[in-house]
Structure 1
Amino acid sequence: MDGWERARQVLDMAGLPSGSLADRRALAGGTYNEVEELRLTDGTRYVLKVPPSATTPGLTHEQELLVSEAEFYRGAATVGVPAPRVVGDLFDGHLLMTHCPGAPWGDLPPGEQAALREELGRLVARLHEVTGPGFGYPSGALGPLAPDWRTAFSAMYDAVLDDARRYHAWLPRPVDEVARTAKTAYDALDEVAVPRLVHFDLWQGNILVERTEAGPRIGGLIDGERMLWGDPLADFVSLALLGDIRQDEDFLTGYQEEGGQAEFDAPARQRLALYRSYLYLIMLVETVPRAPGDEHIAWRREAVAPELVAALDEIA
């Protein structure tokens, strides 16, 4: 089946007029799923996500990612956070959603940046009001949701370490040493009692900024495929990718004004270091199945590996 036929079939299954498909184009930025924009003859735009084939190499948790993405958008809708809206259900593993206005967050003047970071803080606090039925990935990639965060997160961490062994991935420290260090902080996970909605991939490329007469505003939070039910602190890693969220006063102001809890006591700092190490492990290990090219691999080793080491040192 070619792309046009696939798109028409998905529109048909969603109860939309497949004969009105006027254009489809690939969208850049996706690193795992295929993403394309569908435009109908009346100007309506949708976004279609297509999962990779079953033989595409990936990490263990990267199964049924679109199940998690759909879960994120449904949760965001309940608290009025701008994000795509799921059209119907998953169609043969394909996700059809509405189009959000704006373009990925880029370089902005300081004044605009501060206001948008505050707005982002308020939106993320609202996301964290959404609670789930258990802890972990809703996709079921690592098994059913767990009754406690320690069980869920330790399984997530073990899975990426197993991927590192399976792919013989380069890491700045031996895999077994990373595992031993992480386990020393697992007691801090027991403080998380309620599973909350966590996007876990809110770097600037997944935040759309829309230009309006009143100034820039956030048009949508997209690419929720890494979504999990867990500790809201886990979102703070990608929100300050390769940095420290504690230095982002504008974001934290908006987050706390909207009711978000952002206290960095000793257990919280341990958990935040764990989540940083988890994301940076993923970013290093995934270069093997992704094969992004020597230049990009070198960048990750130069930029990401030191952050992984710093997080592990903070845990220790």
Structure 2
Amino acid sequence: MSSITKIKLSQDDINKITKKAFNQNILSLKELTGGFYNSAYDILLEDGLQMVLKVAPNRDIKVLRCERNIMRTEVEVLQLIRSCTNVPVPDVLYVDQEYKYFFMEYIQGTPLDELHPHLNSEQFYTISKQLGTYTKQINSITSDVFGQTFSKQQRYNTWSAAYIAMIEEIILDANDAKINLPISAEELKNIVVDKSPILDTIGTPRLVHRDLWWGNIFIDSETLTITGITDFERSLFGDPLMDIVFGFAKDNEGFKKGLGRNSAFSKDEECLLSLYQIYFVLLIILEGHYRQLKDNEQNEQHAQQVLIEEIQKLKNL
């Protein structure tokens, strides 16, 4: 995926930083074209170590407020998860001191978005249940504050304060880019503030992946086991229900079974899911502009329509 945030390094540049980190030469190098934000390279060293180099956008590229310093988030969350769970995540091998890039273990397997067309419903259920089980482990990691704490963003004592701040940042991002939303900033914020008591039913800040789209889930196509979960750069401490929204899993019974929850959602949970869906589609609308994605008009129009629908739904809850 082409995006203004994906910086292309020359082979000479990659050779230099790899030599600095590992004091070895590169046997093979291939750019990984998936993903929407960082550039990434598949590297094989002369000692046989295969790894991935991830490179952050240049500092002069304007990104969303929630995307500032997120490479630091990814590194610290990967290290935390490896120390606290048995979730299959890549090992961090080397980190640039300024978080301009880092090297991590290469994960074998096929991304779920590529494998899904070849799966029957039973196979997809099996994989989804595994993913739910791993997500439950991720969500078991707690903090004493809410928010994007790893990237040194503001920290909050309540989930409502953290979530309202997230919406306020989105509004500022939209204003900066002169993006017209189908709802005024005042109305959007008022709708969210009105739901503060429901947001504050979330009393414990729990680690949320917040980007469980299928391209970040790697599968052994023979055994149908998950070999790795990647891209923790948007992780935060908040409500685990966000992983249901950002994992497209509201109707995924296997995922919910792995989480250990009942199929149905309560009225308060439906309200929370709607709030998170609103945030999700707002991000879709803004990301297309900030990353200067080509031929994105149809996706944006769909997101705008979903936003209108979810706002109306939330008003009725």
Q: What TM-score does the superposition give when structure 1 sets the normalisation length?
A: 0.88
Give secondary structure in 1 for the equivalent of 2:67. Answer: coil
2:269 aligns with: 268
User: Residues 164 and 192 of structure 2 are in contact (CA less than 8 Å); yes or no, is this contact kept in structure 1?
Assistant: no
Q: State the Cα deviation string for residues 180-231 of structure 1 (Å, max 9, x = none).
A: 222221221111121111110101111111223xx21111111111111111
Q: Aligned to 2:149, which of 126, 129, 138?
A: 138
User: Residues 165 and 175 of structure 1 are in contact (CA less than 8 Å); yes or no, is this contact kept in structure 2?
Assistant: no
1:128 aligns with: 139
1:92 aligns with: 98
Whether 2:308 is the aligned partner of 1:309: answer: yes
Whether 2:291 is the aligned partner of 1:280: answer: no
181-190 vs 274-283, which moves further = 181-190
Q: Aligned to 2:89, which of 76, 83, 88?
A: 83
Correspondence 1:158-177 to 2 at 5 A? 158-177=168-187
Correspondence 1:1-316 to 2 at 5 A? 3-11=10-18, 14=21, 16=22, 18-77=23-82, 78-93=84-99, 94-105=101-112, 106=114, 107=117, 108-140=119-151, 143-212=153-222, 215-240=223-248, 245-256=249-260, 264-293=265-294, 295-302=295-302, 304-316=303-315
Change in 2 beyond 3 A, CA 1:52/1:123: same
Q: State the Cα deviation string for residues 6-25 of structure 1 (Å, max 9, x = none).
A: 434544554x2x32322222
Aligned-residue RMSD, C-alpha: 2.2
Aligned mates of 2:308, 2:137 — CA distance in 1:
32
Q: State the Cα deviation string for residues 210-261 of structure 1 (Å, max 9, x = none).
A: 223xx21111111111111111111111111xxxx342211111210xxx68
Aligned mates of 1:89, 1:196 — CA distance in 2:
26
Change in 2 beyond 3 A, CA 1:2/1:184: closer
Structure 1: state its 5+ residue gaps: none
Give secondary structure in 1 for the equivalent of 2:24. Answer: helix
User: Residues 129 and 258 of structure 2 are in contact (CA less than 8 Å); yes or no, is this contact kept in structure 1?
Assistant: yes
Aligned mates of 1:145, 1:296 — CA distance in 2:
34
Q: What TM-score does the superposition give when structure 2 sets the normalisation length?
A: 0.88
User: Residues 75 and 127 of structure 1 are in contact (CA less than 8 Å); yes or no, is this contact kept in structure 2?
Assistant: no
